[in-house]
Structure 1
Amino acid sequence: MNKAEFDNEIGHISALKSTMEKLNCFFEKLDNQVNEMLTAVQQTEVNMDQWNHMMKRAAMISKLTGNIENFSPADIEEKIEELNLSNKDNDIPLQENQMNTQKLRDTSAIRKVKSSIKHNGRARLKTRMQRK
């Protein structure tokens, strides 16, 4: 390889190196933009969770009071405390209700499995009968 060819190869290599540096810079910027977008999405999710929580609280208050517009924030907090205290009295029946619901779901799942087994058995029997 002569000096001209060697210099030509060095030129190609330096051009490739420059292109790689530009690509790395581009991908770093792109990565930063993606991270900013993810942060914005996460913040939006937090804001939505806070909004949903506030709306649930407003719904509880409106159930108790009828109209939320006539109350100050202190009144609202007081009503929420009343609701929280009244809900604590109902915790035990709620837990029992959840347990009963779970038992019903378990029973229903068992019935579905039994039904599926019966259906599959009938289908196999029907197939055997058709073969004969």
Structure 2
Amino acid sequence: MKKLLMAALVLFGSSAMADTRIMTCVVPSETNAVTLAIDLADDQSADFVMVNLIERSSNMMFFSQMDKGTIAQQLQNGFLNILALTEKSSQVDGVIKNTGFLGLSLESDGTFGGFLAANGNIYPLSCTK
């Protein structure tokens, strides 16, 4: 876990990578006050995903690193599942702390639906590519 966090932080700090927006999400409500952007860094060796949660006036960044091509394969198969790490993610006595989970699946209308479980909350999401 520590190696994964260090690798993710090193990649996260790299300014040489360009980001590609792969999905934009909203928590369906009258005001649509909570939004989420999912970006994929242009990296040659790994899939580095950044998830930016904007809730009212606060902003929270999550990230995940996977084998190169994993994100494209997941999306092609109709889903996206990632462990959403933060700069405070840690593992204590087997418990993963300060971490979330993003789970999305393809809906019949071509959009993606699912949730982000993070910050002690569950954010139901409606997403478009």
**TM-score using structure 1 length:** 0.19
| Larger relative strand fraction | 2
| Larger relative helix fraction | 1
Higher relative contact order, structure no. (Cα contacts within 8 Å, ≥ 6 residues apart): 2
**TM-score using structure 2 length:** 0.20
